[in-house]
Amino acid sequence: MATRMNPATKLQIKVITATDNSGKEQIAVRSFNVNPALTDADLLAIGTKLGSLQSFPVSDICRQDNAALAE
C-alpha cells in the first residue's frame, strides 16, 4: 500500500499586477508554506485575509500539495 512521505502544502495567492498591450493580465504569485493538515475551507479563509492585504487585486487563491509516495 502506498503512503505519503514528507507532505508539504503551499498556499498561493495570484494577483493581477498589470495588463499588457493586448489586454492580457500579468499575474504574480505570492506563496506561503502552510500546515498540510489545514482544510480547504481554512486555506480559503486565510488566503482571503492575506489577499485583502495585497496592493494588487487577487485573481486566484490556490492550494498546492506535494508529497513523495513510497510503499
- The tally of domains found in the chain comes to 1
Round the average pLDDT of the chain to a whole number and report it: 96
Is 27 within the bounds of a domain? yes
Asked whether residue 17 is domain-assigned, the answer is: yes
Residues 44-54: tens digit of each pLDDT: 999 999 999 99
Whole-number pLDDT of residue 47 = 97
pLDDT of residue 61: 98
Quote the domain boundaries for residue 48.
11-66
Q: How confident is the model at residue 23 (pLDDT cuts 50, 70, 90)?
A: very high
- Could you identify the residue written with the cell 499586477? 17
Domain contains 57: yes
* Residue 19 C-alpha from the chain's centroid: 21
Give the whole-angstrom CA distance, residue 13 versus residue 28: 8
Q: How far apart are CA 51 and CA 59, in angstroms?
A: 9
Quote the percentage of the chain above a pLDDT of 90: 94
pTM for the complete prediction? 0.86
Q: Is residue 56 part of a domain?
A: yes
pLDDT recorded at residue 41? 98
